[in-house]
Amino acid sequence: MDGWWRRDPFFIRYMAREATAPFVAAYAIVLLVGIVSLARGADAYEEWLEALASTGWIVAHAILVAIFAYHTYTWFQIMPKTMPPVVVRGRRLAPEVITFAGIAAAVLASLALWILVAYGAP
């Protein structure tokens, strides 16, 4: 089974999907470091903020955004497989509809978050 996932484009897409996980973890760790430094005091926190503002980290985060977006797409793409069939007026909902609804929900939630942060924050 070595290298089985190179056998078919389908598997390569699957591996790409799974490969988003370390990046999700990486982001969680970045945040965690931020929280810990916040707990350690203002100096530690400022250091963390400064690091975030470096070009390297900004580029890295920009890449992370793309990876997270890919995760969003794949997550809702397998959604129809993972949930019980939804029957609306006697008809089973088509998979594309479920995927679309999921992505739409993600867009709405993200917009809401943006509005909250950009206009609601002090």
Partner 1 sequence: MADTRKIVLEVLRYTPGQSTAPTLQQYPIEFTDDMSVLQGLQQVKDFVDGSLTFRWSCRMAICGSCGMMIDGAPKLACRAFLRDFLPGPLRVEPLEHFPIERDLVVDISDFVDKLGRITPWIEPREPRSLEQGEYLQTPAQLERFESFSHCINCMLCYAACPQYGLDSRFLGPAATALLHRYNSDSRDGAQAKRMELVNSEEGVWACTAVGYCSEVCPKAVDPANAVNQNKTASAVSWFARFLPGRG
Partner 2 sequence: MKRSNQPFFWLLFGAGGMLSALIGAMLVFITGVAAPLGLGVHADLMSHANAIAFARGIPGKLFLLVVVSLFLWHAAHRIYHSLHDLGIPPGPLAQAACYGTALLGTVVATVALLAIGF
Site of interaction with partner 1 (CB under 8 A):
1, 4-5, 7-8, 10-11, 14, 18, 78, 80-85, 90, 92
Q: Is 86 in the site for partner 2 (CB under 8 A)?
A: no
Residue 32 binds which of partner 1, partner 2, none (CB < 5-8 A, kind-dependent): partner 2
CA dist., res. 75 & res. 105, Å (int): 12
CA dist., res. 106 & res. 4, Å (int): 33
CB 45 within 8 A of CB 37: yes
Q: Is 105 in the site for partner 2 (CB under 8 A)?
A: yes
CB 98 within 8 A of CB 79: yes
Taking CB under 8 A as the criterion, the residue among 7, 8, 16, 58 binding partner 2 is: 58
